[in-house]
Amino acid sequence: MANFDTVSKKTAEISPKDFVDLCFGFETIDITDIQLIQPEQPTVDMRQADVVIKVEINGKQVIVHFEFQTTDSSETDMSLRMAGYIVRLIETYGLEVYSNVIYLRPDAGRRDPGQFVQDIAGHEVLTRYKVFRLIEMDGQSILEAKPMGLLPFTPLMKRPADVSAEAWLRRCVQTADSVNVENKTAYLGTLAVLGSLVYEPETILNIISEETMERSSISEHFAAEALQQGIEQGIEQGIEQGIEQGARERALKDILEVLTLRLKPYAATVFKPTLETIDDLDRLAQLHRAAILAETLDDFAQVLTNE
């Protein structure tokens, strides 16, 4: 799901003020000196943080932090992750931190408590953050306010009860098309990519074509985003496969070296063809131990043939 998270992050980076406004509930406050901080900069260990903004609110500098989640966090509990971000940001910048998580899919974030609690007497820990589930946000009010950074997310927001899903998508496209942005194709393409979480891509492209006459350009943008996602996934899978393959080759080499040194010089030639057919790293580890313990070639052969 990295594609949707990346698109969301890029949108927030282009229009950080709209997200600062969201954090503070669109209150009438004096927001100045907005500075986007790149999480990968070497002064802070925040490799996974999505958007970090240093901003002056009513004359006071603070940090506003956003995480985008397509689905529920599957690796680490989201509340624990957010606690980690909050503490590291406070430690790094020495400023008040306002952390937020935005869930994109309608079914995501239902169990996020918006806080991390360690309830141990004398060692209590409490960190709180805001949870935004787009499906619970009033989409019509966003359309009326027209914050450029939030409009691409409106297809994922709560629509008026008397408006059908397709009519709502059309209204979102019309409003986004009415905004004056430098690259309208990329802007509508972002809406299309995010909207595909709940709408069929063909439906989105048809409506964009009918409302803006830009189907061809948006289709190219949509395809480019999908291709990028495929590339990212391919690289990630390739790295994982490369690591596994390297471990397998090392395990095989270790077994053959032990057999050659402890038993017979020709042992590697005898057993190598069979060993090369084994992909299971646990099985190879077992055979490595067997090679160390074997007194004869027959001892090892017996373990090798007993699956």
pLDDT by residue (tens digit) across 187-233? 888 898 899 889 988 888 888 888 876 655 666 656 555 545 543 44
Give the pLDDT confidence of 4-42 residue by residue, as tens digits: 888 888 899 889 999 999 999 887 788 888 988 875 443
Cβ burial, residue 278 (10 Å; 0-12/13-18/19+): middle
List b or e across 154-167, with b for residues whose CB sees 16 or more CB atoms inside 10 angstroms: bbbbbbeeeeeeee
pLDDT at residue number 28: 74
Fill in the DSSP letter of residue 170.
H
Which residue did the predictor score with more confidence, 57 or 291?
A: 57
Average pLDDT, the chain: 83
In sequence order, what are the beta bridge partners of 25? none
pLDDT of residue 46 exceeding 50: no
d(CA 93, CA 55): 12
The neighbour count for residue 305, using CB atoms within 10 Å, is 8
Cα–Cα distance list, 83 to 126, 129, 155, 208, 218 (Å): 8, 9, 30, 40, 38
pLDDT of residue 242 exceeding 80: no
pLDDT at residue number 271: 85
pLDDT of residue 1 exceeding 80: no
Residue (of 46, 44, 36, 42) closest to 15 by Cα position: 36
pLDDT of residue 264 exceeding 50: yes
